[in-house]
Every structure is written in structure tokens, then in C-alpha cells.
Structure 1
Amino acid sequence: MSVDRTLHHFPLDPASRQVRLALGEKRLVFAEVQVRYWEGAPDFLSLNPSGITPVLVEIRHERRTVICETRAILEHIEEQDPEPALLGRDAAERAEARRLLQWFDRKFDNEVNGFLLHEKMEKRLLRLGAPDLAALRRGREGLRHHLAYVDGLLQTRDWLAGRRMSLADFAAAAHLSVIDYFGDVPWQDFPAAKTWYMKLKSRPCFRPILADRWPGLAPAAHYDDLDF
């Protein structure tokens, strides 16, 4: 069955990257519309009144469906195209994948992105002035805390949620990849996390992520290096 998909997203948005990785891993073809979400364009607000990316628009059998917000989109993709399964093959791994999705989209986003990405990216986009050094320091401290947690999980598991790669890995990698775009991830101090990220970074679904660039926001030199 032919399905027309269009993903409205912002390239440096961790939430959008999760969806892009899932679509890519399942080899689902989609068109892209890059959104400057901070501008509040009426066309985009008509799709998602919250004004938040990502938004997936699908046309199946001439029926148009608009799916908003990351978790809703990921669950929809998994229901409509269940192979390869990205929520685990057994109940325990599915539960753990969902827990870690929540961890990164709530706890990591609040304790790391809320400082580092706000200061380094959002302030630039919104023209809010120079980064606050105290906020950057707090974000980096939070990042080390989360990397230590990830590193500990990966010392006893093949992937974050267990034996198989899952949406939990894509959630973590999506968040960390944007931090890594700005060169703030101390990979050398967390070898298990670095090895895990190298495996993900080498997958075909990750190539578009590594090609992302945004005017005025240049990536770190190692950002697209597979052997960093």
C-alpha cells in the first residue's frame, strides 16, 4: 500500500530526530518540511496548535491523518509498520524502552537541554543575547550525570533497554546528537556510551542526522566523524 508521508520538523530538535531515526530504520519514505517553529507560522499552527515539532502528515487511501507530538508519532509508526519492531520483542523490554523514552524526553530534556540547548541554540535563534556561563555549567554537570547512568546501563546490556536496539536508543541518541553537534559531550570519559553511540552513528538511518546543518550554527569538527 502506497503511503504519502510528510514530516514537519526542525533539524536540531531532538524530538524531531527521534521520528526521523524511526522512519529511517523502518525504511519508510517521507518528504521533509523544515519548520522555524519559533516563528509561529499560521500554516504550521493549523497542523499543531501547540506549535511544537514534529508533525507527521500521512495520506492513506486518500485519507489524510495529522499526527502531532513525538510519542504519538512513534506509537503510530510502530502500529502501522510493526517491522522491524522498535519497542522490543517481549513485555519487559517494551516496558523498559517506554521508561527510557520518558527519561530522556522529560528528565534529560529538563536537566540538560533546558540549559545547554537553550543557551547555545535557542538564544541564538531567538536573538536573546549571549549564553549564561552558570547555566552552561549546570547543563554540563547534568549531562555528565546522565552519561554516567547510560554508561552503567550499557556495561550490562547490549542496548539501552536490553538485548535489542529500540526506540530508547533512538531517544537517547537523538538528544545526545544535538548536544554533540555543539561539541559538549565528553565521550572520552564514558567509553561504553561512546561505543554504543558509534554503533548507532554508523547505521544508515543516522546519515541524514549527520548531514544536518543550520545557518549560523556550525557543528563541532567531529560531529559527522564515524571514528570520533
Structure 2
Amino acid sequence: MPTLYHLWISPFSRKIRVILGEKKIEADLKVEQIWDRRPEFLAMNPDGTVPVFVDDDGTTVANSVAISEYLDETRPEVPLLPGDAAARAEIRRLVAWFDRKFNEEVTEMLVGEKLMKRFLGTGEPSSAAIRAGHINIATHLAYIGFLAERRNWLAGDHFSLADIAAAAHISAVDYIGDVPWEKYPEAKQWYARVKSRPSFRPLLSDHIPGVRPPAHYANLDF
């Protein structure tokens, strides 16, 4: 059985967990406390970050982008980069948008400050960073709503890696109750569709030690 080394609140780990669910790949999920800097884990990924995927044959892949493409190439029966070259380029553009821009402007400012600093022992949360994250998320939710109004899914007609990447980051922020859903109904409607997918439901059952999610977090009709 493949193994996924992950961390509950990591949006990059969450992205791979959803991909595994979409492709119906059973995997052994092992929580990796990256702040421990385990030598055995660093031997697999010197970067010291999650996720890391170890396949049945021992192939080890680190980094969520690399893992995503590896899984789509080795298990192509449920394609998450569907369509022609132009369609796949749009999916990759949006994955990069959420994994880089949203992560830097929102996830790190909110989840990073409120949760990861506690786990990593890197000091007190920055109130300025948290304020910036609350401001920045508005732009991103508006953009999600813009795309969702004009397309069946974020990148086009089909559910894809773009939706998974976006929802993975959103879910991490939603766990700490920092998504102002009432102001962005189009984004909320899109996220409700993602939440209803069987592949996404295990994320809604996550309970991070010492941190309880808001009541709406696991509610499909929130």
C-alpha cells in the first residue's frame, strides 16, 4: 500500500489526500510532525516539508505539484488534468495561483500565523499579518466567484486539479473560521459542491489537537 506523509492543516497535504480520494487510491496516511526534523523523513525529503508520497514500488515523490502530476500520469483513469494543451495550461495556471499567490497572501497570513507558529515554536502570531490575510482573502474569494459564475468548474467544464488546489487552501482557512462566506455567495456555492464530493469528506472529519473547527466546517449545507 502506498504511504502519504502529511500534516492535517497543510493545504498541500490536503490537496494530495483529495487526489487520492478522487482516484480511489488506498494509502497509509502518516502524520509527519515536520518540526521534529526526523532524520528518516529528511532522508526522503531534505526540504523537510510535507507531503511526501511513497508508492508501492518504493518510488518516493516530494512536493505537491510533483506528486499531483505523478499520480495523474501513473493513475490516468480519473484524469485531473483533462482536456487539450490549452485546457491543461489553464488548470496549471490556477493551481499555481492558489499554491503560490493564495498561499502567500492568505494561508500563511492566517493559518501560518494562528496555527503553524504554535506548532513550530516560532513566536507569537503577528496581528499585522493576520489583518493582511483578512484583507487579501476578499480578492481571492471574489476571483473564485468570478470563475464559478462563468464556468462549470474553476478551470472549465470539468472538475480538475485547479478546484482541488483552491479547495485545499480554502478548507485550511475555513478550519479556523476565517472565510467570510456570507459576502461571497458564488464562491460559497462552488465550495459547497466540492465539499459534497466523497473525496473531500475525510478532510471535514479532521480534528487538529487543541483546535476545534467552527460548527459549519463539516456541514455540507453551510
Same-fold status (TM-score > 0.5): yes
Q: Mapping of 1:183-202 within 5 angstroms?
A: 183-202=177-196
Q: What does residue 17 of structure 2 align with?
A: 20
Determine what percentage of the aligned residue pairs are the same residue: 49
Given that 2:80 and 2:161 are in contact with CA atoms closer than 8 Å, whether structure 1 keeps it comes out as yes
Does the CA contact (< 8 Å) of 2:107 and 2:172 recur in 1? no
Q: Deviations over 1:48-74 (max 9, x none)?
A: 0100100000123xxx21111101100
Match of 1:204, SS state, is coil
Q: CA RMSD in A?
A: 1.1
1:226 counterpart = 2:201 = no
Q: Deviations over 1:90-136 (max 9, x none)?
A: 22221110000111111111111221112111122133444322211
Give structure 1 stretches of 5+ with no counterpart.
none
Q: Is the 8 A contact 2:6 2:32 kept in 1?
A: yes
Cα separation, 2, equivalents of 1:113 and 1:218: 18
Q: What whole-Å deviation, never above 9, does each CA across 1:4-38 have from its counterpart, x for those lacking one?
A: 20000001100001111011001011111101112
Q: For 1:207-226, what aligned pairs fall within 5 Å after superposition?
A: 207-226=201-220
- Letter of the structure 2 residue corresponding to residue 177 of structure 1: S
| TM-score normalised according to structure 1 size | 0.94
Q: Deviations over 1:191-221 (max 9, x none)?
A: 1111110011011101110011111121112
Aligned length: 222
Give TM-score, length-normalised by structure 2: 0.97
Q: Does 1:6 align with 2:3?
A: yes
The one-letter code of the counterpart of 1:17 is R
Q: Distance in 1 between matches of 2:126 and 2:70?
A: 39
Gaps of 5+ in 2: none
Query: Segments of 4+ in structure 1 off by > 4 A?
Result: none
Q: Residue 42 of structure 2 corresponds to which residue in structure 1?
A: 45
- Equivalent residue for 1:117, pick from 89, 111, 133: 111
